[in-house]
């Protein structure tokens, strides 16, 4: 999935809102929905670009670790099933 905005652009948009630009006008200017703006604000509020990049890296690492855990749990279940079979 290709994103239209990177973290730097999102934070710049949020800073415009902090500077006093009305949300409706901001959303119209950048062609985003109100819901998108509020989701961004919830996720990136008060962050700098470096913070957002670190968050993205941590989210990627967390997803990779979750996948590894799920795969190892499947392996354990398969081994348990193989051991419990009677020959």
Domain boundaries, the chain: 7-84
pLDDT tens column, 18-61? 999 999 999 999 999 999 999 999 999 888 889 988 999 999 99
**CATH match of 7-84 with 1.10.10:** yes
CA 5/CA 76 separation, integer angstroms: 41
Q: Is the pTM of this model over 0.85?
A: no
Q: Which two three-digit tokens encode residue 33? A: 């929905």
Tokens 């990136």 locate to 44
The DSSP output letter for 82 is H
Radius of gyration of the chain (CA): 21
């Amino acid at each position: 999935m290709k994103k239209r905005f990177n973290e730097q652009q999102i934070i710049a948009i949020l800073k415009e809102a902090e500077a006093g630009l009305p949300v409706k006008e901001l959303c119209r200017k950048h062609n985003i929905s109100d819901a998108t703006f509020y989701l961004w604000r919830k996720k990136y509020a008060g962050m700098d670009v470096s913070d957002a990049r670190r968050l993205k890296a941590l989210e990627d690492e967390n997803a990779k670790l979750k996948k590894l855990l799920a795969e190892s749990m499947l392996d354990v279940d398969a081994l348990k099933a193989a051991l419990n079979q009677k020959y």
